[in-house]
Amino acid sequence: MADVAQRAGVSSQTVSRVSNGDTAVVEATRKKVLDAMKELGYRPNSAARALKRGEFRAIGVITMGLASTGNVRTLDAIVRSAAGAGYAVTLIPLDAPTRDHVKGAFSRLDELAVDAVVLIMEVHLLDAAALTLPPHVKVVVVDSDATERFPVVDTDQRQGARAAVRHLLDLGHGTVWHVAGPEESFASGRRAEAWEAVLREEGRAVPPLLRGDWTPESGYEAGLRLADETSCTAVFVANDQMALGVLRAFHERGVRVPGDVSVVGFDDISEAASFIPPLTTVRQDFAQVGALCVEAVLRELAGETVTGVRLVPTTLVERSSTAGPGARGRER
């Protein structure tokens, strides 16, 4: 800084003001300082400036991992929105949903220079780990169970599941089977609750719930069981990847989709339209979820009090994997 000041013929204080974007510096002086910086290859020390201002222009994201389509696409949207606002993102993935792993993630967060954190995780894990968050760090959660402690942004999980089940019932199916996600997953729980609620509201039988782990392999195993259930004419699968496994199992067992069984997924991953047959599914607007997370963070950093839950609506995308009951339905 002293070298720049000497080259530009100004004080070190003026160089500091230019570095920090002070608009009170005369334009001619600013240009001399910037030219001197360029000639000398000077770069302001961002860490020092952050300490002086008390802000780092960085957002931490703690997530349960990157195997989940929803987590990856939400993270991508957060990174893009943060970059547009001039913020960097520091990612801290959790290896497992255990108390020690959650505590470890927050210990790392406390050591890092971030102004806020977005939690893409089940918020009850914070309670299990008995954590006290650093008071200066703003928090936004992607988990609509966290209705009182933090600002929340999430997809409307129940709305999407209800739309999927009603679509199948409206096509004439007597009931709908369900392949749920992991029992510990908040999203899986909300989708399964909505599935059962719609069937009970309509006075339909509630078939035994099958469960997978979000992977195509677990969907395949569930599909093999459903292929043997001759009463099954419609199935709602809790994500598209498991639905892919279900479709494979049906194909191998000679169960036609949608001729024998209709299938609906959840997420609308980019490959869903290329499944055989193209998959009817519930589209989540991950980009909107990520953008709203960053918006809430910036509002908090600006001193606003941000509370409540913002649920992003879903959309049912109808493709070729659903139709009215076929031969199986008539046989019943």
Per-residue pLDDT of 256-268, as tens digits, reads 999 999 999 999 9
Task: Please give the pLDDT value at position 200.
Answer: 98
Task: Please give the pLDDT value at position 120.
Answer: 85
Task: Please give the pLDDT value at position 125.
Answer: 60
Listed in order, strand segments (DSSP E) in the chain are 58-63, 88-93, 116-120, 138-141, 152-155, 177-180, 210-211, 234-237, 262-267, 280-283, 309-312, 315-317
Mean pLDDT of 77-82: 93
Task: Please give the pLDDT value at position 308.
Answer: 85
Alpha carbons 320 and 29: distance in angstroms, whole number: 66
Mean pLDDT of 1-13: 89
Say if residue 102's pLDDT is above 80: no
Rg (CA), the chain: 26
Task: Please give the pLDDT value at position 239.
Answer: 96
pLDDT single digits (tens) 103-151: 777 777 767 778 888 988 766 666 544 556 666 778 888 875 655 678 8
CA distances for 319 relative to 83, 164, 258, 302, angstroms: 35, 12, 10, 44
| Tokens matching residue 202 | 């309509």
Residues near 316 by Cβ (< 8 Å), separated by ≥ 6? 160, 163, 164, 167, 280, 281, 282, 283
Fold of 157-285+316-331: Rossmann fold (3.40.50)
Q: Which residue in this structure is represented by tokens 């020690």?
A: 100
Share of the chain above pLDDT 90, in %: 52
Task: Please give the pLDDT value at position 148.
Answer: 67
Task: Please give the pLDDT value at position 234.
Answer: 98
DSSP designation for 272: G
The C-alpha angle 27, 32, 34, rounded to 5 degrees, equals 90
Alpha carbons 23 and 25: distance in angstroms, whole number: 6
Say if residue 246's pLDDT is above 90: yes
In this prediction, residue 332 has a pLDDT band, given cuts at 50, 70 and 90, of very low
DSSP designation for 194: H
Task: Please give the pLDDT value at position 290.
Answer: 92
* Bridge partners (DSSP) listed for residue 165: none
Q: Per-residue b/e over 199-219, b at no fewer than 16 CB within 10 Å?
A: beeeeeeebeebbbbbbbebb
pLDDT single digits (tens) 54-76: 567 889 898 876 777 778 889 99
pLDDT single digits (tens) 279-311: 999 999 999 999 999 999 999 988 888 888 899
Domain ranges in the chain with CATH number 1.10.260.40: 2-44
Say if residue 100's pLDDT is above 60: yes
Domain ranges in the chain with CATH number 3.40.50.2300: 56-155+286-312, 157-285+316-331
From the number of C-beta atoms within 10 Å of its C-beta (0-12, 13-18, 19+), residue 7 rates as middle
Alpha carbons 139 and 269: distance in angstroms, whole number: 28
Alpha carbons 32 and 93: distance in angstroms, whole number: 45
| CATH number, span 2-44 | 1.10.260.40
DSSP assignment of 118-155 equals EEES-THHHHHTT----TTSEEEES-TT-TTTS-EEEE
Task: Please give the pLDDT value at position 222.
Answer: 98
Q: What is the mean pLDDT of the chain?
A: 86
The type of residue at 63 is T
* Bridge partners (DSSP) listed for residue 88: 58
* Ramachandran angles phi, psi of 10, nearest 5°: -130, 180
Say if residue 51's pLDDT is above 60: no
Share of the chain above pLDDT 70, in %: 85
| Tokens matching residue 100 | 């020690």
Tell me the CATH number of domain 56-155+286-312, given options 3.40.50.2300, 3.40.1550.10, 3.65.10.10, 3.50.50.60: 3.40.50.2300
Say if residue 34's pLDDT is above 90: no
Alpha carbons 248 and 226: distance in angstroms, whole number: 12
